[in-house]
Structure 1
Amino acid sequence: MSRTARTQGEIRRFLDIGAVQVAELDLRGEEAEAALRPGPGSQPVTHGEVFLLVRRDGLPVGTLLGRVPEGADPTTALAALARQAHVQEHVQEQEQGRGRGRGRGQRQGHDTAEAAADAAGPPPPLFSSVVVATRERAGQLTRALDSLLAQDHPRFEIVVVDNAPVTDETRDLVQRKYGERVRYVREPVPGLATAHNTGLAHALGEVIAFTDDDVVADTRWLTELAAPFTADPELGCATGLILPARLRTPAQVLLESHGGFAKGFTPMTYDPQDPPRDEPLFPFTAGRFGSGANMAFRTEVLRAVGGFDPATGAGTPARGGDDLYGFVRVLAQGHRLRYTPRALVWHHHRETWADLETQAFGYGAGLTAYLTAILVNRPALLPAFLARLPRGLSHARGLTAVRDAGDAGNSGGAGAGSATPGDHGTRTHPWPRRLSRLQRRGMLYGPVGYLRARRAAGGTTGKASSGGRAAGGAR
């Protein structure tokens, strides 16, 4: 069969993927009373397939993919699945002899300190800045800002960076609807990293959080994302959980069935002084740490490393990698990075096959572009990178490998449901070879794209000042 015929077959199978309802269910109290509600942007649950976030007393603990039979009560059916999955997870943890909350790269002493801090109650969060980079998407921006203004964090500001605007729509929206509650900054130079550097230059908070204009933030998102900085003075970066706001199109369902942007429900601390034993490529596997739609930094640390490289990120020839660059720069300076699944945002995934093609190429390009940026800006890391290169090539092949629909436990059949709370992203649909090829092609292009972007930017390396303009851009 020719490659063209295979691609056409993949697209036909892709178009047959059905929509999945998105909902969240909170198991409350000792009797585990269940409260079910639709996800942001979703309709109330009826019968059929459901992607479910399970909460325990308001806190996210896992996801599952379940099916509500026709005529059944959705809350009753999904609560039974959630309780069963929760029990299975608890038994597995006991058998493996591991406690909840242990993360890769965590030191035992640090775990003990965190446990003591949890028992004593959360400390007051630091004053925080939230930066949202945007470009000509006022409708989505409104949804994001409304959720940010509903945060329960006691002390924070919101800065909107309008990146290379063509119209005044974003400025008019912010000034007309939000007034002094949201600060508006215009950045004429395109590029997401540049926009984030502009936000960094204008931020007043001790912690600076970044999210996108296509998310809805959970009410406790900022509080949970900022809290680790108070608990750990050596922490330089924190990332959080990203779940789908809706799964209406085949593209959204396919992406989420292969994990989406989620990094699981186990909190993890990555410590350069105690590298995770199960990640010999650390810290160059930065994609495991989190994503740019849900990340925060200690402001002084991010400024000290020069912010983000403006030759990376969406809106530049590099196509991406700005967030990964930031993670590695902070770790390379000796600071820890914390992944906390309690800090949740709901992301509106791209909706079409063409979007997935663009995204696959961009992810591949961003991966190698960020690695190029790291080695150009921090040549002292070259020996460590070369030592890891053989394993890195193996890892790269794994990233683009074609997944079999059954390799992670197919949960899309006629059964009631599957997946434990910690097992996000069961692969219910095969990953198209076309998308894997595009990602590999992007990986080959990434260094070239980065060097082109760097040349266009005049060879700058991403310095961000503590005040005044530093750059612009958005997805």
Structure 2
Amino acid sequence: MDPFGNPAVSVVIPTHTERRWASLTRTVRSAQSQTYPAVEVVVVVDHNPAMATRVRAEFPGVTVLENAYTRGASGNRNTGAFHTRTPLIAFLDDDTVAATTWLRGLITPFRDDRVVGAGGGIIPAWEGSHPRWWPDELLWAVGVSYTGMPTSTAPIRNVWSASMIVRRDAFLAVGGFRTGFGKLGDQNRPEDTELCLRMSAVNGGHWMYVPSAVIDHEVPRSRSTFRFLMARCYHEGRGKVQMAGLLPKEQKLGAEADYLKRTLPRAVARNLLHATMGRGGFHALRAVTVVAAVLAAAWGGGVETIVGLLDTGATVPSTPAV
């Protein structure tokens, strides 16, 4: 603890490819420049021994580990987290830059013993410009905060591992991130959401969102296209069905239901209104994009449901004759 009684924190940064070397450098430097300094900064390299050697050589003062589990961010993060000994463990992705006050903001909710974890605001750092047709309600698709999230510090069901801090004892109690379940290749399984739900369930604790504890998250041009957004929504639909299959039956995905019933319909109505009032044709494109995103996610969810039924040997109900 510091002189004011705040708990010590370690920062874990997973990485996997030297193609992100420049962004990894920025991430590490931002972790080392916090006004509330971390006891230890840990970089974990995902099955890339040559890169691990380079990180050790070029980042003095940083602990460098190699993923002790199967390939993927979940095992990478667990390797670093299980190594730490501080009461709090923070996570940053290797394509983010944390504001100097990021850690200081994230530790604030832990004055409440019931808080098991917290997350901060994530701002998009577009390589190009923000596509005007892209609704802010769908910014989650590039891993940043979106319209519909709280605008001040508030309880939240889950946060994202790009900007996350956890109580070490609660994290260890559930075994950390679920290895083999996460983002790998074209799979977009929500390993951070799944972790948050398990940590909340273990002792009735809750998560807090601190939008003022900000990081910038890089968004390359390749992720600024309509094609990427539709693919992301499709795989998110598949991932949510997979996650639901891991949860107890009584633990429903209420946040997703509220998002679909409230946030997205409001986005469609607002943008159509703005379009009819002559405030720019891009508003009509935003409304169409929201509808397309819902359909893409529904398609992905349907595909995953069928795949799950086939894998378990169940039969898919036949279509009734008309």
Asked if Structure 1 and Structure 2 have the same fold, meaning a TM-score greater than 0.5 normalized by the shorter chain, the answer is yes
The partner residue of 2:100 within 212, 219, 226 is: 219
311, 314, 319: which is aligned to 2:188?
319
For residues 279-324 of structure 1, the C-alpha deviation after alignment (integer angstroms, 9 at most, x for no partner) is: xxxxxxx4xx322211111001011012122232101785221111
CA RMSD of aligned residues (A): 3.7
Give the secondary structure class of the aligned counterpart of 2:150: coil
Aligned to 2:78: 197
Alignment CA distance shift 1:141-1:363 (3 Å)? same
Q: Distance in 1 between matches of 2:187 and 2:309?
A: 8
Indicate yes or no: 2:187 matched with 1:329. no
- Displacement after TM superposition at 1:427 (Å): 9.6
Query: In 1, Cα distance between the equivalents of 2:273 and 2:26?
Result: 35
1:232 to 112, 130, 139: 112
CA shift, 1:242, in A, is 0.8
Give the gaps of 5 or more residues in structure 2. 312-322
Shift of 1:161: 1.5
Write the distance in 1 (CA, Å) between the matches of 2:185 and 2:78.
14
Partner of 2:61: 180
Q: Distance between the aligned counterparts of 1:202 and 1:301, measured in 2?
A: 15
Consecutive unaligned residues of structure 1, counting only runs of 5 or more, are 1-121, 271-285, 376-381, 416-425, 454-475
3-state SS of 2:180 partner: coil
Query: 8 Å contact 1:307–1:326 — kept in the other structure?
Result: yes
> What is the CA–CA distance in structure 1 between the aligned matches of 2:65 and 2:209, rounded to whole Å?
29
1:291 is matched with which residue? 160
CA pair 409-297 structure 1, distance change in 2 beyond 3 A: farther
* Alpha-carbon contact 1:147-1:219 (below 8 Å) kept: yes
Whether 1:366 and 2:239 are equivalent positions in the alignment is yes
Structure 1 vs Structure 2: percent identity of aligned residues? 22
Matches of 1:447 and 1:318, distance apart in 2: 15
What is residue 121 of structure 2 aligned with on the other side? Answer: 241
Match of 2:319 in 1: none
Which of 153, 156, 162 is the equivalent residue of 1:267? 153
- State the 1:337 CA deviation: 1.4
SS of aligned partner of 2:12: strand
Aligned to 1:131: 12
Matches within 5 A, 1:48-447: 123-136=4-17, 137-165=20-48, 168-169=50-51, 171-187=52-68, 189-229=70-110, 231-246=111-126, 248-249=128-129, 254=134, 256=136, 258-260=138-140, 261-262=144-145, 263-269=149-155, 286=157, 289-315=158-184, 319-333=188-202, 334-352=204-222, 353=225, 354-375=227-248, 382-385=249-252, 396=260, 403-404=267-268, 406-407=270-271, 410=274, 429-432=286-289, 433-446=291-304
Q: Which has the higher contact order (CA 8 A, sep 6+)?
A: 1
Task: Say whether the 8 Å CA contact 2:9–2:87 is kept in structure 1.
Answer: yes
Give yes or no for contact 1:364–1:439 (8 Å, CA) kept in 2.
yes
> What letter is aligned with 1:161?
V
Q: Is the 8 A contact 1:258 1:427 kept in 2?
A: no
In the superposition, the TM-score normalised over structure 2's length comes to 0.76
Matched AA of 1:366: G
User: Match of 2:152, SS?
Assistant: coil
Greater radius of gyration (CA): 1
Cα displacement string for residues 391-438 of structure 1 (whole angstroms, at most 9, x for unaligned residues): 976765667769538449859x999xxxxxxxxxx9983352544332
Q: Check whether the contact 1:216–1:346 (CA below 8 A) recurs between aligned residues.
A: yes
SS at match of 1:311: coil
**Contact kept in structure 2, 1:405 and 1:428, CA below 8 Å:** no
Between Structure 1 and Structure 2, the one with more helix by share is 2
Q: 1:436 is paired with a residue of what secondary structure?
A: helix
Tell me the SS of whatever aligns to 1:331.
Answer: helix
Deviations 1:69-97 (A, max 9, x none): xxxxxxxxxxxxxxxxxxxxxxxxxxxxx
Superposition deviation, residue 209 in structure 1: 1.1
- Change in Cα spacing, 1:235 to 1:249, as seen in structure 2 (3 Å) is same
What letter is aligned with 1:267? T
Counterpart contact for 1:312–1:450, Cα < 8 Å: no
- SS, match of residue 151 in structure 1: coil
Distance change (3 Å), C-alpha of 1:258 and 1:186:
closer
In the TM superposition, what is the alpha-carbon distance from 1:149 to its structure 2 partner?
1.2
Count how many residue pairs are aligned between Structure 1 and Structure 2: 292
- Amino acid of the structure 2 residue aligned with 1:291: W
Cα distance in 1 between the residues matched to 2:210 and 2:201: 20
Amino acid at match of 1:360: C
Q: Residues of 1 paired with 2:309 and 2:47: CA distance?
A: 21
8 A contact 1:187–1:198 mirrored in 2: yes
Instruction: Give distance in 2, aligned partners of 1:347 and 1:314.
Output: 17
Partner secondary structure for residue 254 of structure 1:
coil
Normalised to the residue count of structure 1, the TM-score between the two structures is: 0.53
